[in-house]
Amino acid sequence: MSDDKDDKRPDEPHFGGDIKPIAITDEMKKSYLDYAMSVIVSRALPDVRDGLKPVHRRILFSMHENKNLPDRPYTKCARIVGDTMGKYHPHGNLAVYDALVRMAQDFSLRLPLIDGQGNFGSMDGDSPAADRYTEARLDKAAMPLLEDLDLDTVEFQPNYDGKEREPKVLPARYPNLLVNGAGGIAVGMATNIPPHNLGEVIDACVALIDNPEITIDELIEIVPGPDFPTGASIMGRSGIHAAYHTGRGSVVMRSKTHIEELRKEREAIIVTEVPYQVNKASMVEKIADMVREKRIEGISDLRDESSREGVRVVIEIKRDALADVVLNQLYRFTQLQTSFGCNFVALTGGRPEVLNLKDFIVAFVEFREEVVSKRTRFLLNKARERAHVLCGLATAVANIDEVIRLIRTAPTPAAAHASLMDRDWPAEDIAPLIALVDDPRHPINADGTYRLSDAQAKAILELRLARLTALGRDEIGDELQKLATEIADYLDILRSRVRIQDIIKAELAEVRAAFATPRRTVIQDWGSDLDDEDLIAREDMVVTVSHAGYIKRVPLSTYRAQKRGGKGRSGMATRDEDFVARLFVANTHTPVLFFSSLGQVYKEKVWRLPLAAPNAKGKALVNMLPLDKNERITTIMPLPEDEASWETLDVMFATASGGVRRNKLSDFVNVNRAGKIAMKLDEGDHIVDVQICTENDDVLLTTSAGQCIRFEVTEVRVFKGRDSTGVRGINLGKGDEVISLAILKHLDATPEERATYLKDAAAQRRALTGEGEEVAEAAADGEETGGEVELGSKRVEMQLAEQFILTLSEKGYGKRTSSFEYRVTGRGGKGIVAMVVNDRNGKLIASFPVDERDQIMLVTDGGQVIRVPVDAGPGNRIRIAGRSTQGVTVFNTDASEKVVSVERIADEGDSEEGEAETGPAPEDSGEA
C-alpha cells in the first residue's frame, strides 16, 4: 500500500501544513463584507441610543475617567487625545482631535458636549489650533450622558488590547442623536441627521410615553423641524415631513436677512445668520465672484463685519437697483440658500436602519427604560447586601456574650470566622428585620434558628466595640429601617412600568430645565416649486439670440426710437461668422418655450436669461439648455404668463417645408429641465415659428420666394400627440421655403365686399395724407369680382377686423398691406403673391400684422439694430400698398448686409433724450 504522496495525481497542487486552497472571489467577498461591517458599526454610524459614534463615546468616557469634569480645571487637549488614543481608540490623533473639536463648536452642535478653551476653529473654515495649545473639559451638558455609568446600567467590553474596559453605549438621559444630529459616510451607506431643539425633543419623548399610539404627524406638531445651531430659516415643510415620515428628505435652509438704509437713497442687505454647515468666508467669496461675472447685478460693495456679537455680512446695493431683486438672485446663485439632505440612518441593535421620527423616540425611550431598570436592580442588590450585613450585626448585638465567647476561645481569626458560621443562632429577634428587608438570602430553620453567611461573619469580626452601645444598636436598626424602605421602593419600581416611565419623565424634565433654550431656526411656509418671482421687478426686455446660439436680455428702454431709414445702433457684439438671428420683446415674468432644430422644446422664464449690455455677446444657449452636440435652437416663443389659461388656447406649428400642426397650448405646460418632444420633423426640415391661435383665426404662411397662403385654423385638426409631423399647409415651389407664420382675424366677406372696402379705404387715405397710393385690387391671382357693392353696416365690421400685414425683404424693403387682400383659400395650395421678389428686394424674411402705433426692430447679420415706428406721420411711415408691390426702404442696409430678423414692439416709444440719431427718410420708390 502506497502512501498519500504516491497516490496524489501529478496535476493536483500539494499544500503542506495549514495552507488550504481558497477561491479568491469567496475570500474577497468575505473580507470586504467584514471590512464594511466594521466601518459601519465601529466607526461611521452613530448608535440610536446615545447618538454617538465610537470615537465621540470614547473621548467622553476617557475624560470622565480622568476627571476632566465641568467643575475641574481645563486639561490640555493633547493629553485628552493621548489618553483616548492610547486606551480606547487606536486611530490617528488627528481623527480623535477633530472629533473633540467638533463637540466643542457651538456652530456645529446644538448642545456642545465639551467646554473648550482656546482656538477651536470658526464658521469661516478656520482650522483649530494644535492640540498642544488648546484645553478642554466636559461641558455640563455631557454629564447627563455619562450619569449612572458606574451603576451597571450599560454593558462594557474589552478595549482593543484587552487591558481596559469601555462602555458599548453611554446611559444617555436625553436623545442626543436628535438634539445634536450626526453625519457620517460608511461603506455603501451614509447618515446625515440634523440637530433639533432639546426642549421640543424632550416634549416629544414625554408625549410618546403618555401616548404610545401617537402618530408621526402629532409628533411633528411638537417637533416642527430641525433647529440648527447657526439659526437661519427653513423654507417650507414638505422636506421636513418627508424626512420625519420616511427617513429621507431635503430641507431648504435660507439665511436670515434684512434691508437697512445706510445713507440717503442707498440700501444694504444685512445677513445676520447663515445656513448650517455653510462656510461664511467661502459664501462671501462666492458672492464676489458672481458680481465679477455679472451673474448677479446691482451690488456695489460687499464686506464681512462679523464679530463676537454675531454674524453681519453687509451687501450694499447700487442706487438704481432693487434690494429685493438682488436678494432673490443671491438666494438662487449663492449659499445664502442651500439645502440639508436628511438621511436618518443609525445603528439599532448593532445593525444600520433607516428610521423615522417616531422610531428615534421609541428607541430612546425603550433604552431609557432598560437603563432605569438596570440601575434600580443594581441599587436593590446593593441595598440588600447592606441589609444582609446589618442583619448579621443585629444578630451579634442580640447575642453579644456568646459572640464574644466564641471569638475569645477561637485560636485564630479563621477559626472564629468558622465558629460564627457553624453555629445556629436564634432568629427570634432578627426575624422581623429579615422580613422587613425582604431578602431571600436569610433562610430560617424549622426550629427558629438560622446561620450566618460568610459576609455576615466577616462583618461581625470587623465590628467596632463602639457599635455595641445602645446608640450603636439604634443606628443599626434605623439604617435597616431606611434600607427596608428603599428596597420596597426599588421592588415597586421593578414591578411597575408606569413607575419606570415616571422616573424617565422626571429625569427628562430635569435636563430640560437645565439645558433647554429657545428655538433658533424659524420655519417659514414656502412652496418648493416657487421661484420667488414676486421679488423680480416687472420690466420689458429685449431678448436677442445670435445665429451661433448666444442669448441675452437687455431692458427695452436701452434702445431709442428712430425714424425709418436711420442707420441704427449696435445690438450685439458678434464675430464675423456670427449674426443676430432672433429678437423678441417680453416681460421678465414671461415663460418662454425654446424649440430646437431636432424638434425638442425647452422652457425658461425671461428673468432667468442672462442680463447684458446692448453690445455684449450674451451667454451660449448650450450652457443654459441641455442641447445635444448637433442641436440648436431655431424658434423661441414667449407665452402668456398665466399658465392656467393655456388650456383654452391652441398653438400652430409651421415648418420650412410647408407643414403645419395644431396642438393645445396646455401640452407644453410641464416641460422639465431635459426638455420634451415638440414636433416630429422629417430629415432636413425645421420649425419656422409657433404661435397661439383660436378657432376664430386664420393662418397666413409666407415663403421666401414671395408666395403666401391664407386658410382657416379649423382646416388643421388638433393633434393629440406631440410626435407627429402634421399636415401640408402650402405647396412649395422648387427651392422655396416657408419663412413666416402669422395668425389673422377671420371675417366672412365676399370678394366684392373686400374690393369695395379696399378702394374706399385707399381713397380716404389719399385724401387725408396727400400721399399718392394706387388703389389696391382684390381681384388678383384669378379671383373675380362682380364690381362694387354697397357695404352699409358691414363697413364697421370690416374696419374692426382689418389688419395690416407688414412684409419685409432681406435688403430692407417693406410695405404694409390690408389683410383683406389676402383671400382665404383651402389649405395645401400654391398660394398667391405676397410681395414682389427681385434683385432689388431680395428674398422675403418676415410677414406679420402690425398696428400704426407699433414699432419694429430690424437686425442685420452684421449685428446692426434699428427701431422704426410703423407710422410716424407724413413722410416717415411704412407705406400701405397692395400685395404685388416692391415696398419702400425701411432699413438702409449696407450692400454686404442682410436683414435676418424683424420683431414687432407693441407700444409707442420715445427717442432717448439727447441721443436721437435719425437718418434721411428715403423716397418711396420702385413700386409696381
Query: Active-site positions?
Result: 133
User: Which residues in 163-222 belong to E strands, given as ranges?
Assistant: 165-167, 182-185, 190-193
- Could you tell me which of 693, 634, 619 has the C-alpha nearest to residue 660? 693
Cross-strand bridge partners of residue 354: 345
Q: How far apart (Å, rounded) are the C-alpha atoms in residues 80 and 408?
A: 55
User: Which residues in 231-265 belong to E strands, given as ranges?
Assistant: 233-235, 248-254, 256-263
Q: How far apart (Å, rounded) are the C-alpha atoms in residues 291 and 284?
A: 11
Report phi then psi at 711, rounded to 5.
-145, 160
Pairing relationship of beta strands 233-235 and 522-524 according to DSSP bridges: parallel
Question: Which alpha helices (H) appear in 453-609, and where do they start and end?
Answer: 454-461, 470-495, 497-515
Q: Nearest-5° angle of CA 519, CA 520, CA 524?
A: 90
Q: How far apart (Å, rounded) are the C-alpha atoms in residues 577 and 575?
A: 5
> 214: how many CB neighbours lie within 10 A of its CB?
18
Question: Which alpha helices (H) appear in 720-871, and where do they start and end?
Answer: 751-769, 794-801
**Grid coordinates given for 652:** 400652430
Q: Do 166 and 152 touch, CB atoms closer than 8 A? A: no
Q: How many CA atoms lie within 13 A of 127 on its CB side?
A: 7
- Could you tell me which of 792, 826, 809, 764 has the C-alpha nearest to residue 899? 809
- Could you tell me which of 765, 891, 874 has the C-alpha nearest to residue 818? 765
Specify the long-range contacts of residues 31-39, CB closer than 8 Å, at least 24 apart: 35/187, 36/186, 36/187, 36/188, 39/186, 39/187
The residue whose grid cell reads 423661441 is: 636
Q: What is the CA radius of gyration of the chain?
A: 45
**Grid coordinates given for 654:** 409651421
Distance from the Cα of residue 250 to its chain's centroid: 6
Distance from the Cα of residue 513 to its chain's centroid: 35
Cross-strand bridge partners of residue 807: 815, 847
